[in-house]
Amino acid sequence: MKNLSVRTRVFLWLSLFLAISDALFVWINYRAEQTRFQNHLEQRSQYVHDLFAVELGNTALRMQQTATFIASMPEVQQAFLRGRKAAEAEGGGAGGARAAQARDNLLQLIRAPWQTLRDHYDTRQLHFQFGPNATSFLRVHATDRFGDDLEGVRHTIFDALKEQSPKEGFECGRIICGIRGVTPVFRSSDNKSAANFIGVLEAGTSFRTLLELLEQPSQAKFAVLLSMSHLGETYFPERLAALKRENPAIDGNIVEATLHPEVRELLAIAQIGELVKDSGTIWLKVGERHMAFTAFPLRDYLGGRDAGRAPVGTVLAWMDVEQDIHHLQRDLAFNIAYAVAAFVIIEILLFMALRRATFSLEKMISNQTAELREMAAHDELTGLYNRHYLDEFLHKEYAIAARHDRMFSVVIMDLDHFKDINDVYGHLLGDRVLFDTARMVKGRLRASDLAFRFGGEEFLLVLPDTGIDEAVKICEELRQHMERESIGGLPAGKVTASFGVTQMAKSWEPLDVLLGRADDAMYQAKSNGRNRVESATTVE
């Protein structure tokens, strides 16, 4: 090392530095892509979670409506009333011979509509109860089980009896778990008073029906798991013993419903087993495919009313992400190739530059470093991203959109009559208007959208994965919000804006053409009276 020239030593040290920097560049970009991918999976998982919750509520409501339909039949009301009176006269519970006859009469009335409900609405349970202790009078789906009290087990039923009002939700009973709707049954009368109250009727269905509705729109597969501890608190002992034989538990959970038998093999994987215990989202390779898994707690009727109550199970969803992983790996390969090519080119240039003048290179690096330090990412007044960062971001977003066949929309927003505001109220208040406008824009946009200060009173919005129609709707909501709010301390409606909206063309037109089209649309909004949204499209 002592015999090497200063130029050679500088070259070697710089080469080492560049090699480390390139490796760090590849690693940082890969980690950023992984983080981006994980965030994408978590957003998709949240969508799956929300979709499941909405469909669960809709299914429970359909069951409640189904029960209401049966409960509204006068002949059913009369038969149920006779059965309740007979059971009470014969000592309560299952009652005696008169209660049995009334139960059979009610069953005959229900058979035809019950079959229709099973065939057309996938109703799996129909259950009549009465009395303060939620006594089972007739399980149409299990006619050999009746007379047991459900207080402390079936809270939808108990609450419906107590409050004489409809209830719905997921809940486990003595025999089966289901998505249920409970409605009060009154004698035929305009007066739904306590004197006319007979009992309640419950309709229910299984999670399988819900999963069949969910899987196509969500592009995911599902399994509903119930904890053995919860089933032990609700099921008849003999029913639980039979269930264990038919459907052995896995880590303390029973597979309540799924359309995919491979779920038992998936649950045997250690990472998925831990995910079921802790909830969250992961991705891993299963066999030859990369899969994403998400798990979230399953709460029953009581859990929906009390967030502190422990969940009764878990919902596991999984989806194929092979294509996403392929993109991630392709980006990694691209980054490596780019880093290697950049390293080779820079090495050649560095070597040539060092041969000519080492001090010139040092001066160039010093000047570039100073320029980078001076370039701030944010606008000092508004806090939005500035024009320097806009240029960098737009080119990057444009390249990503072109590479992944994605779209995005661009909006140029210009405050109306801003010069008049400065002239009349002064530049300090004008700055306050710009600050308040920027804060409002940031507060109204979605998490994925970005806002930039484009010029003096101009702002530019970038809306990723957004078509022009949705972008126009977002801008119209923002425009109306500005019109209603006081900005910069001025009266509501004093500060308005004109919006020009356009969408990236599939032909991947030049970026300056895209921005020019948004600018033209904004000026069209100005020409058409200001305080409006105009859009501009291109012919494919």
Residues 22-28 have a mean pLDDT of: 77
Lowest-pLDDT range of 267-276, 283-292, 330-339, 378-387? 330-339
Which tokens belong to 239? Answer: 């029913």
Share of the chain above pLDDT 70, in %: 91
Q: What is the CATH number of domain 54-200?
A: 3.30.450
Q: Which pLDDT band, with edges at 50, 70 and 90, does 281 fall under?
A: very high
Q: Do 54-200 and 210-324 fold alike per CATH?
A: yes
Q: Which residue has the higher pLDDT, 209 or 418?
A: 418
The pLDDT score that the predictor gives to residue 173 is 85
Is the pLDDT at 406 greater than 90? The verdict is: no
Residues 406-427 have a mean pLDDT of: 92
Question: Helices marked H in 280-357 — which ranges?
Answer: 301-305, 322-356
Contact of 517 with 538, CB cutoff 8 Å: yes
Is the pLDDT at 358 greater than 50? The verdict is: yes
Q: pLDDT for 367-404, tens place per residue?
A: 665 455 445 678 889 999 988 888 888 888 788 877 87
Is the pLDDT at 263 greater than 50? The verdict is: yes
Is the pLDDT at 223 greater than 60? The verdict is: yes
Q: Which CATH architecture has domain 387-536?
A: 2-Layer Sandwich (3.30)
Token pair 């994925």 is at which residue?
A: 448
Which tokens belong to 397? Answer: 């977003």
Residues 184-203 have a mean pLDDT of: 84
CA distance 200 to 68: 10
The pLDDT score that the predictor gives to residue 366 is 61
Is the pLDDT at 146 greater than 60? The verdict is: yes
Is the pLDDT at 347 greater than 80? The verdict is: no
The pLDDT score that the predictor gives to residue 364 is 64
Helices (H) and strands (E) in the chain, counts: 17, 15
Q: Report the catalytic residues.
A: 457
Q: pLDDT for 62-119, tens place per residue?
A: 999 999 999 999 999 999 999 999 999 998 888 999 999 999 999 999 988 888 888 8
Q: What is the CATH number of domain 210-324?
A: 3.30.450
Residues 128-149 have a mean pLDDT of: 90
Contact of 224 with 313, CB cutoff 8 Å: yes
Dihedrals φ, ψ of 466, to 5°?
-130, 125
Q: Are strands 533-536 and 497-503 parallel, antiparallel or unpaired?
A: parallel
The pLDDT score that the predictor gives to residue 540 is 47
Per-domain residue ranges of the chain: 6-36+326-369, 54-200, 210-324, 387-536
Q: What angle do CA 90, 94, 96 make, to 5 degrees?
A: 40
Which tokens belong to 78? Answer: 């009369």
Q: Which residue has the higher pLDDT, 1 or 225?
A: 225
Lowest-pLDDT range of 16-20, 120-124, 195-199? 16-20
Lowest-pLDDT range of 126-140, 387-401, 429-443? 387-401
